[in-house]
Amino acid sequence: MHFTRRKPELSIIVIAYQMARELGRTLTSLSPQYQRGVAGLDYEVIVVDNGSPVPVDMADVTRSDRRFRLHRIDDAPSSPAHACNLGVQMSSGRNVAVVLDGARIVTPGAVARSMQALQLHRRPVVSTAAWHLGHEHQSISIRNGYGPEVEDALLASIAWPRDGYRLFDIASLAGSNPDGALGTLNESCFLSLPRTLWNEVGGMDTAFDLPGGGLANLDLFTRLVGLPDSQLVILLGEGSFHQVHRGASTKPDVDTGSWYRQYEELRGQPYSRPPISPVYYGALPEPARRWL
């Protein structure tokens, strides 16, 4: 007798490049031991190593958990857009979630709340708001001496991962949502949506080929929230938290102007934040309340 594995309810795609220190924490935060309310929820996590000089270690990913898988791209483009599309193609979930930067820790309700929020509308686009670890945006804090050792001490001070909601105590708002969870939003750092919507927009546009992807993630978000009858759902009380690393967007010498020039070349108009009319869903653990 032949049995076929049922497709998971959610496939989470994590893109990694040269972030051995940070990726382990991100995957811990996606594990069923850390996530709350996921008993009975069938989800998979696919890590795509986008050509890291030192390959991601399979043992660091799988952790003896069959829901975690690793795929490596040896001759990888400098943009993560292709890796993201490939990860989604490799997955089989009815819904997909994308973590384009594998250095992002999520809160303990991110997976279960995302799945609940996906049931709220026929064409949902679900997102957390985003933060940076440290008390200043990392593009600033790095110039003031912030680095991995300082960040490790901050995480130790809240005994992470014992209570993942205490990440709100040691964080600052990301540029994607500078006004907080109830303000503007121009990209998602933990994005969940039905596979049908991903296919409808064609996923990430690989023409955004600058290192780090430039505005590829913002472009994807703009196209998704602009789909006819799509509904943005923002999760209250959940978030993604960026760990410091040599990422393209937080390097002190980053040339953001090239990102905007490329966007205008590809889209025929300057980039602007998309208008949003979100529905809010979730709960408010005490550490998150001050951010509202």
- Segment 131-180, tens digit of pLDDT: 999 999 999 999 999 999 999 999 999 999 999 999 999 999 999 999 88
Assess if residue 207 is contained within a domain.
yes
Omega prior to 124 cis, within 30 of 0? no
Specify the CATH number for the domain of residue 125.
Answer: 3.90.550.10
Residue with tokens 């408010």: 284
Residue 1 lies inside a defined structural domain of this protein? no
Contact (CB, 8 A) for 280 and 234: yes
Q: Which of 195, 209, 220, 214 is nearest to 274 (CA)?
A: 220
**Is 146 within the bounds of a domain?**
yes
User: What total number of domains does the chain contain?
Assistant: 1
Instruction: Report yes or no on 4 lying in a domain.
Output: no
- The answer to whether residue 166 sits within a structural domain is yes
- 259-283: pLDDT as tens digits: 999 999 999 999 999 999 999 999 9
Q: Residue 127's domain spans which residues?
A: 10-289
The answer to whether residue 3 sits within a structural domain is no
248 domain-assigned: yes
275 is a domain residue? yes
